[in-house]
């Protein structure tokens, strides 16, 4: 286990190791873990350029002012969008592509608005699934070329349900549009199925982009967070939890900054590299993390709030899925839905 003090020590070295002008995109960053991690990044970097994507202009105005207070030398841009819609995701990505030649960090925490649960979007995707899976993967696919061009840190962090993966029926994905009409929303938004889709999609992406590291985290319960992961409701929901032993929100931010910047989580082709794309160098007592394929430094990491791999809990399940060619089948399904909705696999 990586201690909180070890994480803090790593975070304090970001300013020494990583160059000025890091570009970070936070999707769903107008509250909760996204907001607090973004503030930690601003505080610990030199002249960062941060893009905040979310619904609430009121919240964004407050957050941007607070970011300027934390680091007046940074640039902070709010892009207002309903990211449950893939067309909106594409528009946001085009805006970023027009402004930036590279992206160093893509941090994904979009949550489900409770009043929209049980409905589908105008793009015929079940709303919780659109936000927690399709939207996130679309952001990654669209921004992958900018991430690959970065000369330093190249990382994707998605905060959701690491370690909750379960078996999928490849002949009848529980996430297909319209399935909830037959099976009911609880089955459609099954936390394990969504987590499995996420992890398998990241494994497919790592094959396509071996110079990028992908971290899937499970944050547990966080005091005051509006994006907590709940297996009973099947995903990320908007609520405030008061749970004994829950992490303070600021601590969750520092922990996720470590996940976003530490060389503990190198890209698939960078485990033996000393170049700064891997992130902040390992401190005393910290080693390279084990990937979802049970190999150290293999590029895709399923971790909990203390940065430890939780893939071992579901290793047999994940291997069964790989043996059934589910990495490829999940990816084919995802691209099919992207093309159905938007007319293209990416923008």
pLDDT for the residue 52: 97
Cα 129 to Cα 89, 116, 217, 264: the distances in Å are 15, 11, 17, 30
Backbone angles phi, psi at 52, to 5 degrees: -110, 120
Distance CA 226, CA 204 (A): 30
Q: Where are the alpha helices (DSSP H) in 44-178?
A: 57-70, 86-99, 127-129, 135-149
Strand order in the sheet with 49-54: 75-80, 49-54, 23-27, 105-108, 155-159, 213-218, 300-304
pLDDT at 234: 38
Return the structure tokens found at 128.
Answer: 């919780």
Bridge-partner residues for 75, per DSSP?
Answer: 49
Please give the torsion angle defined by the CA atoms of residues 220, 224, 227 and 233, in that order, rounded to the nearest 10 degrees: 70
pLDDT score recorded for residue 173: 62
Residues ≥6 apart with Cβ < 8 Å to 82: 55, 88
Predicted pLDDT at 246: 81
**CB-based contacts of 320-324 (< 8 A; 24+ apart in sequence):** 320/167, 321/167, 321/168, 321/196, 321/200, 324/170
pLDDT reported for residue 45? 97
Q: What is the pLDDT of residue 231?
A: 36
pTM (two decimals) = 0.90
pLDDT tens digits along 145-200: 999 999 989 999 999 999 999 888 765 564 544 443 333 333 344 678 889 999 99
Phi, psi at 61, each rounded to 5°: -60, -45
Give yes or no for a contact between 41 and 292, defined as CB atoms under 8 angstroms apart: no
Identify the segments of the chain with pLDDT beneath 70: 112-118, 170-190, 224-245, 271-277
């Amino acid at each position: 286990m990586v201690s909180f003090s070890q994480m803090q020590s790593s975070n304090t070295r970001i300013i020494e190791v990583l160059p000025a002008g890091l570009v970070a995109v936070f999707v769903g960053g107008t509250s909760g873990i996204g907001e607090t991690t973004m503030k930690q990044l601003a505080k610990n970097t030199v002249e960062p350029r941060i893009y905040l994507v979310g619904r609430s202009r009121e919240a964004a105005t407050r957050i941007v002012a607070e970011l300027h207070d934390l680091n007046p030398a940074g640039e902070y841009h709010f892009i207002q969008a309903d990211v449950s819609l893939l067309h909106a995701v594409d528009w946001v990505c085009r805006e970023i592509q027009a402004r930036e030649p590279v992206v160093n960090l893509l941090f994904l925490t979009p949550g489900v608005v409770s009043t929209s649960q049980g409905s589908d979007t105008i793009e015929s995707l079940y709303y919780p699934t659109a936000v927690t899976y399709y939207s996130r993967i679309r952001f990654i696919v669209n921004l992958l070329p900018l991430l690959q061009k970065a000369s330093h840190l190249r990382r994707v962090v998605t905060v959701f349900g690491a370690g909750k993966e379960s078996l999928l029926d490849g002949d009848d994905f529980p996430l297909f549009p319209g399935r909830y009409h037959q099976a009911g929303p609880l089955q459609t938004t099954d936390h394990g199925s969504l987590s499995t889709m996420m992890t398998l999609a990241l494994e497919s992406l790592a094959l396509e982009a071996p110079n990028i590291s992908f971290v899937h985290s499970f944050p547990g319960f966080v005091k005051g967070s509006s994006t907590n992961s709940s297996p009973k409701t099947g995903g990320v929901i908007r609520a405030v939890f008061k749970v004994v032993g829950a992490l303070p929100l600021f601590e969750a931010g520092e922990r996720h900054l470590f996940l976003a910047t530490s060389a503990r989580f190198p890209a698939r082709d960078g485990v033996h590299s000393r170049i700064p794309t891997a992130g902040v160098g390992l401190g005393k007592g910290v080693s390279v993390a084990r990937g979802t394929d049970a190999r150290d430094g293999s590029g895709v990491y399923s971790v909990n709030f203390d940065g430890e791999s939780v893939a071992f809990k579901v290793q047999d399940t994940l291997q069964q899925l790989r043996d059934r060619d589910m990495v490829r089948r999940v990816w084919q399904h995802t691209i099919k839905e992207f093309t159905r909705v938007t007319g293209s696999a990416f923008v």
